[in-house]
Structure 1
Amino acid sequence: MPGAGRQPDAADREQLRVGGRSVAWVPPLILLLAIAVLDWNTSGEFRIISWIVLVPGIAAAICGVWGTAVFAVLAVLTYVTVDTSWPHQYQTGLPDFILVAAGGALATLACAVRVRGERHMLHMRDVVETTRRAVLRPLPPGWGGLDHAAAYLAADSEARVGGDFYDIQPGPSGTRVLLGDVQGKGLGAVDVAAALLGTFRESAYHEPSLATVAARLETRMLRHVEYCAAAGQLDGDRFATGVLVGFTEDDLDTVEVINFGHDPPLVIGPGGVRSLPPGDGLPLGLSELVPGPPPVLRVPLGPGETLLLVTDGVTEARDADGEFFPLLDRVSEALAGDPGAIEPRRLVRLVRDGTLRHSGGHLGDDTTIFAVRRRQPDPGLTSRSATGD
């Protein structure tokens, strides 16, 4: 039994468990007993006792090192006990004894290698999870006066982190929202996402103009590319698409939007689903190709309407026939059948599940689904204020 407070190791976490207790020892034990019983009930001309070498092999696949060693010893003891109970002319003798003993030793060694690999893999997962939480920080409920929900699905299920990024930053000039997708994959893309998010969190708080925030992001992207090129770390063209949204305090019925070559967000409300204008901006890092900055669009966003932002992992998800995921149609159908689907958490779950079903669970790119809306007042508080209670 593991000591109180001890962190479970790789073997503990990977074992078969029922009700929190390990049952990994059950299959090899059943196999051990079955082989012994069958051998006892077979004729002397045909014996299966040498198959007992399978027992430590099975244990090596599902048990820990000490469990496998125990089954290796039990296999040898059972072999000797059963074999010596037969008349001398039917005993398998020394050759099979060596086979069972050597098989047990090799199984224990193989188990040690497996457990070591699992520990290394779990350590790397912990590192990746820490990196992911550092880049995509957890957002408190109601952060910046917004109801929000997000889902992030990495195309690499082992890595669990990629180049998609999002954040909410409240400040004196209102709350700003950013969602983006770095071109490329791997640690280089994660590095870019971290750099852009760091710049966003500072500029979105301090800068009164959303256009200035956009300019700061573009400058940071160019500086990062320049640094990577000088350091010999640039593995090709690097840019990032994105959408920058500003929720101002002086106008609760509109939002400011700057689009950096990204799919335009959807607005989901009681009246249906509509797409925001695409804008004319190029991705971050490509400002040298155009004479001026991307325009700031002021678009209506009524009370209770939810803004849905996704990366191309959603819009480019394909089914078995190569058809793209029909995001607007699926959201429209869901809203028609259930007006409550407008709530950010339910909306994100709807799009996430629909994307996974459409693609059969095989994502070709990192996928981020992010839904935000102005926080709705508590109906209970409103009614109490109206009655003067």
Structure 2
Amino acid sequence: MAVRARWVNEERRSRWLVLIPVALIAVITVVDIRSPTSIHLGPLLVIAPALTPSLAGPRATAAIGALAVAAQVCIAVLHGGLTTSNHLAQIAALTVLSVLIVLLTVVRERRRRQLERAQSVSEAAQRALLRPMPERIGAFQVACRYLAAEHETQIGGDLYTATRADHTTRLLIGDVRGKGLAAVGEAALLLSAFRLNAAHQPGLPDLATVLDTHVRRYLVDFAATGDETGEHFITALLLDLPDGKPVAHLTNCGHPPPLLLRPGRDPEPVGSDTAPPLGASLLPADAHTCTTVPLDAGDTLLLYTDGVIEARDGSGAFYPLDQRVTRWSQCPPAVLVAHLSRDLLAHAGGRLGDDAALVAVHRTVP
């Protein structure tokens, strides 16, 4: 697991850093012994065990604490006498403080392990929900990036997936209204429904109607548990990308329109005709429509969630995606989403207020 690997790497690096408190103990001991008897530097030894928890675990902290106490005893023997009241008080105080520091380190390690387990579960859930899309699907290169608003979590209400049908690729990107486990549950429901039905529906409007039915049924069942669902809905964008035709079919359900990136032209929003979000309200049978846009070889469609365009900088200005994307519009999909992700985080000061997802779809040259 990635979380465990990070912890292991940190522990390996911390083994060398433990030499810092050891060196402090050695320096303080030597200087104190060589100083006049009226000068007492022994109390500074507490710095070593106090510093160790930030570098290592309970065992190393206990060892450094014991070494500090041993150094204080050595100072007492060689610098005024072990039985003096001053030295006895220093030894006792250092011992008590070292024990307290070790106990606090044990508590910290327990919480760290709990966090590690929670992050491992989070990563497993993320992989189950948002399975990484292949770099190439049919006639298209694809790249995606998920940016979680919370640093300690990797799942939320943003979602994307793709599947193959007969000589075409169908892709979904969506954003669940709401947060927490309820949003994760709705995202899982929509992803599962899409994967089961995407290849069996004749057109995107039919697929959107089926997905809306699944979401609505879920919300009705969810309401029976007593949870509030009045504000729960899912914005979604469906794409149908045929292999042999230079077009893209789009059905938009309340989602931000994608940007069409073409060589030598400014980014252009497409598929802006939208139906209400999935699960938002009762819809007539013809509520979902399909828009067809040209998508020639060399063109790229950039899909995103509202966490991208609603990210604010320190002055409160939204992220100008249509302006920033022009810098890298001719880059391969993986490079494009990587640059946009870094630029988005820089704009937001390193922390997003909402989850954000980016998906770039590039039609390759035949």
TM interval, shorter chain, is over 0.9
* Worse overlay, 361-370 or 46-55: 46-55
Aligned partner of 2:118 in structure 1 is 124
Identity of aligned residues (%): 35
What is residue 263 of structure 2 aligned with on the other side?
270
The whole-number CA distance in structure 1 between the counterparts of 2:6 and 2:365 is 45
Alpha-carbon separation, structure 2, partners of 1:327 and 1:265: 11
Pick one of 73, 77, 80 that aligns with 1:84.
77
> Post-superposition shift, 1:77?
1.1
Aligned CA distance change for structure 1 residues 12 and 140 (closer, same or farther; 3 Å): closer
Contact kept in structure 1, 2:168 and 2:242, CA below 8 Å? yes
Partner of residue 373 from structure 1, selected from 355, 362, 366 = 362
How big is the shift at 1:283? Answer: 0.7
Tell me which moved more, 194-203 or 225-234: 225-234
Of residues 99, 120, 132, the one that matches 1:138 is 132
Q: In 1, distance between residues paired with 2:16 and 2:61?
A: 13
Structure 2 counterparts to residues 1-389 of structure 1, below 5 A: 12-15=8-11, 17=13, 22-88=15-81, 92-172=86-166, 174-234=168-228, 236-249=230-243, 252-272=245-265, 273-288=267-282, 292-335=286-329, 340-341=330-331, 343-377=332-366
Asked whether the equivalents of residues 76 and 100 of structure 1 are also in contact (C-alpha less than 8 Å), the reply is: yes
Q: Displacement, 1:10?
A: 8.7
Give distance in 1, aligned partners of 2:248 and 2:7. Answer: 52
> How big is the shift at 1:34?
2.1
SS in 2 for 1:22: helix
- Tell me the CA shift for residue 317 of structure 1: 1.3
CA contact (8 A) 1:173 1:208 kept: no
- Note the aligned Cα RMSD (angstroms): 2.2
Give the aligned length. 362
- Residues 54-106 of structure 1: CA deviation (Å, up to 9, x unaligned): 22221123212211111121111111111111234977232111111112211
3-state SS of 2:173 partner: strand
> How far did 1:236 drift?
4.4
Gaps of at least 5 residues in structure 2 are none
CA contact (8 A) 2:250 2:271 kept: no
After superposing on structure 2, the runs of 4+ consecutive aligned residues of structure 1 that deviate more than 6 Å are 7-11
Could you say if the C-alpha distance between residues 215 and 176 of structure 1 is closer, same or farther in structure 2, counting changes exceeding 3 Å?
Answer: same
Q: Per the alignment, do residues 74 and 10 of structure 1 end up closer, same or farther by CA in structure 2, a change over 3 Å counting? A: farther
- TM-score calculated relative to the size of structure 2: 0.92
Change (3 A) 1:10 1:73: farther
- Give me the whole-angstrom Cα distance separating, in 2, the residues matched to 1:160 and 1:8: 15
Secondary structure, counterpart of 2:228 in structure 1: coil
Structure 1 residues 10 and 322, CA gap change in structure 2 (3 angstroms): closer
Counterpart residue type for residue 51 of structure 1: L
C-alpha separation between the residues in 1 aligned to 2:19 and 2:326? 51
Letter in 2 for 1:179: I
Counterpart of 2:119 in structure 1: which amino acid?
A: R
Cα distance in 1 for partners of 2:198, 2:248 equals 15
1:279/1:294 contact within 8 Å kept: no
Q: Secondary structure, in 3 states, of the residue corresponding to 1:283?
A: coil
> Aligned to 2:199, what secondary structure does the other structure show?
helix
Counterpart contact for 1:314–1:355, Cα < 8 Å: yes
Q: CA deviation at 1:299?
A: 1.5
CA distance in 2, matches of 1:9, 1:366: 25
- The structural deviation recorded for 1:287 is 3.6
